Amino acid sequence: LVESAPWLEKHKKYFALGLLYHYNSQNEAALQLWMNIVDGGLEDTTRSDLYEYIIDFLSFCSDHELVWKYADWALQKNEEVGVKIFTRRPLVESQTIGMNPDDIINYLHKYRKAVVVYLEHLVFERNIQKEKCHTHLAVLYLDKVLGLHSQSRNGSEELTSARNNLKNLFRHSQLYRVHLLLGRIKDTDLYVERAILHGKLEEHDKALEILVHRLKDFQAAEDYCLWNSDGKDPLCRQKLFHMLLALYLDPAVTSDALVMAGVDLLNNHAVEFDAVRVLRLIPDNWSIQLLSPFLGQAMRKSFHSKCMAEVALGLARSENLIYRYTKVKSRGNAVALSGKKVCQVCRGMFTEPVFLRSPDGALLHTHCATKSSSPSATVQTYANP
């Protein structure tokens, strides 16, 4: 170091000099030198990506005091790049005092973009199941949407992207505080977001009311029924589609658009409906031709259900016959239990009327059968009269 440092400095090889400091365990001296190059105090074109190199260096640095000392410099240069100091850190450090997620989030509060990137890393990449992380990210997403919305930039790509991020989190996370967020948007025109939150509270009638009557977005209403019932019991999906159909056919707010939406819903999603309930609900003046796709699919579904029920019944009957045959067979061979016979496991006398016989003819107590090496699947039970 003593011999090389002056030569490297003389020839303005400052990046190499920093490496020399690093390999001699002088990491802080190396960082200060590299930062000076990035800030323009020194000139060295060895690495055009020196800023990113410093970020990588800090992200794998085990000296936490050094990381915290120079993190501000990195974040002030570029928040979205600088935050990689924390997102790239080894997972094992997440439990380390002074470098756990809570400490990092508290530190990043003054860096609006960086804290969002870090929370996204926790929620979507590390899949951290903490309510406060999910709620915090949702609140920051919502703040951005409301801020852009207040600037009358409804058609901007930035607002559209921000709303998509918010809706995606609302749909897929189960951990955020729904009532808190719903309270913040209940008086806004963020109707789709409100519908999603009502859905999280199982208030599907309110959600569908917003989509159908407020937005008149019938496709969004259908999509709501699909994603809200995804992975749930089939009856849940059927319930949602029937609720939507009831809204379309509500005589108090009828219109041609709603009627056609109802027809399309039935014809496009026939398998999701109970045909009997539908036929009781639809108006008498609807023609068969209008609903021919629905009726055709409903009949096929009914026929399929009937066939499957018959198959299940046949299998049940076969199973019952096998059971009855086994029972009759077991009773066909009488077994006399005398006072001289003993259990082949414990060699004790039989004092209870119920006993077991193995395929090889050995008699056993019922409580000894589980200890026996005999194939228990074929052991027969007898009651001594």
Measured distance CA(249)–CA(243) in Å, rounded: 10
pTM metric for this prediction: 0.75
Q: Where does residue 337 rank: exposed (0-12), middle (13-18), buried (19+ CB within 10 A)?
A: middle
How high is the mean pLDDT of the chain?
89
Mean pLDDT along residues 202-221 = 97
Helix (H) or strand (E) holding 274: none
Q: How confident is the model at residue 372 (pLDDT cuts 50, 70, 90)?
A: low
- Span 243-300, pLDDT tens digits: 999 999 998 988 999 999 999 999 999 999 999 899 999 988 888 888 888 988 878 8
Q: How confident is the model at residue 354 (pLDDT cuts 50, 70, 90)?
A: confident
Taking the alpha carbons of 95, 101, 106, 108 in that order, is the dihedral positive or negative?
Answer: positive
State residue 339's pLDDT score. Answer: 76
State residue 156's pLDDT score. Answer: 86
Listed ranges 136-140, 274-278, 334-338, 369-373; the one with the highest mean pLDDT: 136-140
State residue 380's pLDDT score. Answer: 52
Mean pLDDT along residues 140-157 = 86
- Span 32-49, pLDDT tens digits: 999 999 999 999 989 999
- Span 46-98, pLDDT tens digits: 999 999 999 999 999 999 999 999 999 999 999 999 999 999 998 877 777 77
Nearest CA to 89 out of 71, 69, 76, 112 is that of 71
- Span 155-210, pLDDT tens digits: 688 999 999 999 999 999 999 999 999 999 999 999 999 999 999 999 999 999 99
> Per residue in 70-92, is it b (16+ CB within 10 Å) or e — as a string?
bbeebbeeebeebbbbbbebeee
Measured distance CA(239)–CA(71) in Å, rounded: 53
Answer whether 57's CB lies under 8 Å from 31's CB. yes
DSSP state of 177: -
State residue 326's pLDDT score. Answer: 79
Q: Does 228 have pLDDT greater than 50? A: yes
State residue 377's pLDDT score. Answer: 38
State residue 10's pLDDT score. Answer: 86
Beta strands in the chain (DSSP E): 354-357, 363-364, 380-383
Q: How confident is the model at residue 378 (pLDDT cuts 50, 70, 90)?
A: very low
User: Per mean pLDDT, which range of 105-109, 236-240, 355-359, 368-372 is the poorest?
Assistant: 368-372
Nearest CA to 33 out of 56, 51, 49, 17 is that of 17
Mean pLDDT along residues 219-234 = 94
Answer whether 366's CB lies under 8 Å from 354's CB. yes
Percent of the chain with pLDDT over 70: 94
Identity of the amino acid at 215: L
State residue 292's pLDDT score. Answer: 87
Measured distance CA(192)–CA(215) in Å, rounded: 8
> Which residues, 6 or more positions from 76, have their beta carbon under 8 angstroms from its beta carbon?
82
Distances (CA, A) of 92 to 89, 101, 185, 240, 323: 8, 12, 38, 44, 57
C-beta atoms surrounding 367 within 10 Å: 12
Mean pLDDT along residues 342-367 = 85
Mean pLDDT along residues 13-32 = 95
Mean pLDDT along residues 323-347 = 78
Measured distance CA(179)–CA(334) in Å, rounded: 71
State residue 381's pLDDT score. Answer: 55
Calculate the CA dihedral of residues 366, 371, 373, 374 and round it to 10 degrees.
Answer: 10
State residue 97's pLDDT score. Answer: 76
CA atoms lying within 13 Å on the CB side of residue 237: 15
The gap between the terminal CA atoms of the chain, to the nearest Å, is 100
Q: Does 124 have pLDDT greater than 80? A: yes
Nearest CA to 326 out of 385, 376, 381, 375 is that of 381
Q: How confident is the model at residue 154 (pLDDT cuts 50, 70, 90)?
A: low
Measured distance CA(327)–CA(50) in Å, rounded: 83
Q: How confident is the model at residue 308 (pLDDT cuts 50, 70, 90)?
A: confident
State residue 376's pLDDT score. Answer: 46
